[in-house]
Structure 1
C-alpha cells in the first residue's frame, strides 16, 4: 500500500464537500487530477472507497473506516509539523482555528495580537457552530476553537473561559413587552422567536432552559447570522435572545433590549481536545488569551 498524506487530504476534502467539483476547487486542482488521485488511492488499497452517482458520492464501509483513520493520520502529521516548527520559536507553522460566526468580530483584537507576535504562523480559520467546533476537534481537524459554553463532549474536551456576558431579549420598540423592565420565560408563550441554528451552543442552551421552565418556544426562523436575526426582529417577525456585545452592534434607534429574569448568561471559551497535546501555536494563543476580555458594555445607551 502506498497512500500519501496528500492523497489522504484529498480524500477527506472530497468526503467533506460531497462532490468532485467543490473538492477540486477547495484543493486548487483540476477535477480530473483529483479523480485520478482518488482512483490511485482505491487501487493501492485494493477496494472501492466511494459509491459514485449523479447526486454525488457516498462512502463504502471501507471508505468510512478510512475516513476515521485518515483524520487521525493527517492530524498527527500536522502536529508533527507544528512541533518541529516550534524549534524555530514559532517563526513558521499553521494554527487550525475554529470559531463560531457570532464570535468572529469579538475576537479580532486577540487574533490581531497573535498575528503581530507570530507573523510567520498561518491562521487557518474554520467557521462552525459550537457543536461543529467540538466535532472538528474530536476528529483532529482543528487545534483549538473559540466557542460558547457549555461543552457537550466534556469527557473529551477541555476549556478555558474567556468572558461572561448577559443575554438580552431583542424586540421592536412597538412591542408590548417593552413596558416591562425584564423578561421571564413565561413571557415567550405564543411569541414567535428567531433563533440561532441548532448546532450553535447558544441555541442548545436556550432550548434546554426553555424546557426546564416548561415553555415550548414558537420558532419562526433560524439563522447563523446575528445581523439577519436582528433585521427580522426589526421587521416584526419575532423576538430574539442575543448576547449583550452583539446587541451593542445593532441599531438601538429601531430596537429595544431587556434582560432576562432570572439572568441568562453567554460564556465564551477556548476549547481543545484533552487527549492530545496542544500544538505550539495553539498553546501560544491560549497563553496570549490570559486576561483577555472582548468588548465593554455600556448598558444605558441601548434601551435597557
Structure 2
C-alpha cells in the first residue's frame, strides 16, 4: 500500500467532518481537489473508504480502520516535531489535556502557572464527564487526563497529585446549619441532589452510604457541578461536592458546608495516561511541574 501524507491529511479531514465541502474549506482546497486526493487514496488502498447513502457520506469498514490509524500517525508526527524542537529547549510544543468537571476549577490555574514557565507551549483543555474521559483514555486521544479514581478496567499509569475532599453542602437557611458532628442517620433522612450516572463524586457518595448500611435518598439528577450548586441554593436538597469547587460560594455565603460525621470524604486527584505511552516533551514538562514545585505555585493563585 502506497499513499502520501497529503492524501492521508485530506482523508482525515473528510472522515472527521463527513463532508467533502467542509474538508475543502478547512484545507483551503477546491472540492474537486479533495475528491481527487480521496480517489487516488482509494486506488492505492484498493478499497472504498466512503459510501454515499442519500445525501450523506459515511465511512466504510476500511475507512473506519484507516481513520483510526490516521489519527495515530498524525499524533506520532506531532510528537516527532515536538521532540525535535525539544532538542533546542522547550520553547515550542503543544499540550492537550482533558479533565473531570470537578478538576476544571483547578486546571485553569495550573495551566496558567505552567504557561508562565513555558510560554511557547500551546495549550488545549477539554472538560468532560467520567464516561467521556474513560473513552479518551481508551482511545489514547489526550496527552494527559486529570481525574478522580482511575478506572481499573483500563491499562493505565497514574499518579496522585492533590487531595480532593468531598463535603456536604446546604443553603444557608437549612435547619442543619450550625449543628456539630451531624449523625449519618440524620443525614440519610435528607434528599440529595445527584450528578449524572457514572460521575466520580456520585460513585463515591453511593459507595460511602452503602458501606455505612444506609439508604441514600436521591432527588433530582443534574448534569454538572454548577447546576448542582444552583439547585442546592434553591433549597431542592443537599449535595456532596469537591471542596475545591465551592470556594467562591463559601466566601460569599451563598452556600455552607455541614459538619457531618465521616466527612469530608478524603479522595485524590490523579494524573493519568495509557500505560506505556511515551509522553511528549510538553506533557513530560507538565507532569514534572505538577508533581514538583508547580503545585505550590498554583495554590498561590486566587
TM-score, L = length of structure 1: 0.77
**Is this contact kept in 2: 1:169–1:239, CA < 8 A?**
yes
Could you tell me how far apart the structure 2 residues matched to 1:20 and 1:161 are?
Answer: 42
The match for 1:249 is: 248
Deviation by residue 1:133-176 (Cα, 9 ceiling, x = unmatched):
3432332221112222x110475222221211321111123333
**Is this contact kept in 2: 1:7–1:37, CA < 8 A?**
no
1:260-275 to 2 correspondences below 5 Å: 260-263=260-263, 264-275=265-276
- Select 2:10's aligned residue among 7, 31, 41: 7
Give 1:11 shift.
5.1
**Is this contact kept in 1: 2:12–2:67, CA < 8 A?**
no
SS in 2 for 1:282: helix
Give 1:79 shift.
2.0
Structure 1 unaligned blocks of 5 or more: 297-304
Deviation by residue 1:23-75 (Cα, 9 ceiling, x = unmatched):
76995769958974895455553434456557976554334433432333233
Could you tell me how far apart the structure 1 residues matched to 2:55 and 2:253 are?
Answer: 47
**Is this contact kept in 2: 1:131–1:152, CA < 8 A?**
no
Give 1:198 shift.
3.4
**CA pair 233-25 structure 1, distance change in 2 beyond 3 A:** farther
The match for 1:113 is: 113
Q: How many residues align?
A: 290
**Is this contact kept in 2: 1:188–1:217, CA < 8 A?**
no
Could you tell me how far apart the structure 1 residues matched to 2:186 and 2:141 are?
Answer: 42
Give 1:186 shift.
4.6
Could you tell me how far apart the structure 1 residues matched to 2:236 and 2:68 are?
Answer: 42
Aligned-residue RMSD, C-alpha: 3.6
Could you tell me how far apart the structure 2 residues matched to 1:61 and 1:184 are?
Answer: 57
Could you tell me how far apart the structure 2 residues matched to 1:61 and 1:158 are?
Answer: 31
**Is this contact kept in 1: 2:159–2:271, CA < 8 A?**
yes
**Is this contact kept in 1: 2:93–2:120, CA < 8 A?**
yes
SS in 2 for 1:250: helix
Could you tell me how far apart the structure 1 residues matched to 2:128 and 2:3 are?
Answer: 33
1:196-207 to 2 correspondences below 5 Å: 196-207=195-206
Could you tell me how far apart the structure 2 residues matched to 1:186 and 1:34 are?
Answer: 69
1:75-94 to 2 correspondences below 5 Å: 75-94=75-94
1:230 and 2:233 equivalent?
Answer: no
**Is this contact kept in 1: 2:99–2:107, CA < 8 A?**
no
Could you tell me how far apart the structure 2 residues matched to 1:212 and 1:34 are?
Answer: 63
1:42-121 to 2 correspondences below 5 Å: 42=42, 44-50=44-50, 59-121=59-121
The match for 1:123 is: 123
SS in 1 for 2:110: helix
SS in 1 for 2:91: coil
Could you tell me how far apart the structure 2 residues matched to 1:267 and 1:139 are?
Answer: 24
**Is this contact kept in 2: 1:85–1:92, CA < 8 A?**
yes
Deviation by residue 1:163-194 (Cα, 9 ceiling, x = unmatched):
11321111123333436434566556564433
